[in-house]
Amino acid sequence: MAHKIGGIDMDDESMDDEIVENVTDCPGCGQPCGHEILKERKAGTGANYLLKCLECQHIHSVEIREPRPVTIPFLLSEGANTVVANIEVDEDETLHIGDIFEYADASWEINRLETKTANSRKKLIASRVGRANAVRSDVVMVRLTLTRGEYSDSDAIFVERDKIFKAGTIMQHADEKWKIRAIHTGAGRTMHGSVVAHDIKRIYLHEPPRPEENIPRTPRERRQAWKEGRLGDNPNPILPDAEKSGKPKQQRPGRRQKKKRN
């Protein structure tokens, strides 16, 4: 098995299955070459090597050191909740926007990197990172708009990022059944297609129609249905006197009434 020297792993197998060992950059050849280890001395968590190039016979030394850990403050966001966690990272590791890592039994995706002077970057060496932001990636928050009649409320749910929602289907939320009227993504809104949870900006839910009901169509019909409690969101349905059969409509306060002609 070939060794790694100088951080370079270049197991080179030729046509006759010859394996070149201990490959690292040679100052004499100016390129990666196989080396013979003349001397090895432990140094802390690493080692110092005295090497002889197999190509040009040049002798030189190489120091191998394990990277030191650096502590980076991460802002970890899960929905509306954000906490600060100080996480150790190897100082020579390069962090990128979109990188996913494991922490506290969860997966997190880096969505912002800042230098020590608070400048945003798409990638940074760990030793130069001043702060990083990450969002929960295995579980995502999906925002909901729930509409009953002419009234709408907002809510949110947390689901696995790969969960699929299909417009037009019935879903359960807060012990009630709702119809997915539309799904909004960053690219637009669909009333028929399927969308994976991590691509969803908002789901629009309507109370599903009840078969026994005469579904109101016009705004006037919907107002009347709500007053009568037929939309399910009026706990104390009241039928105004003005709309009871056989009674005249009430006049609005301050409105002048027409006089009858003699």
Quick: pLDDT tens for 87-103: 999 998 999 998 988 89
Residues 54, 70: Cα–Cα separation, whole Å: 37
CA angle, residues 96, 99, 100, in degrees to nearest 5: 160
> What percent of the chain lies above the pLDDT cut of 70?
75
Note the pTM of the prediction, 2 decimals.
Answer: 0.45
Choice among 93-107, 210-224, 227-241 with the minimum mean pLDDT: 227-241
Query: Is the Cβ–Cβ distance between 46 and 68 less than 8 Å?
Result: no
How far is it, in rounded angstroms, from Cα 106 to Cα 38?
46
Q: How does the average pLDDT of the chain come out, rounded?
A: 81
The lowest-confidence range among 9-13, 116-120, 168-172, 247-251 is 9-13
Cβ atoms 10, 35 nearer than 8 A: no
pLDDT > 50? residue 5: no
Average pLDDT, stretch 187-208? 89
| Residue 54: pLDDT over 80 | yes
pLDDT for 230 equals 64
Q: Is the pLDDT of residue 106 over 60?
A: yes
Alpha helices in 17-71 (DSSP H): none
**Residue-wise pLDDT tens digits, 118-167:** 999 999 999 999 999 999 888 888 999 999 888 899 999 988 888 999 99
Give residue 4's pLDDT.
44
N- to C-terminal Cα distance for the chain? 117
* 8 A C-beta contact, residue 119 and residue 131: no
pLDDT band at 261 (very low <50, low <70, confident <90, very high): low
Residue corresponding to tokens 């729930």: 146
| Per-residue pLDDT tens digits for 15-44 | 445 566 788 889 998 888 889 999 998 887
- Taking residue 166's Cβ as centre, other Cβ atoms within 10 Å add up to 13
pLDDT at 30: 87
- Tokens 């708009």 locate to 145
**pLDDT over threshold 90, residue 217:** no
CA distance 171 to 19: 60
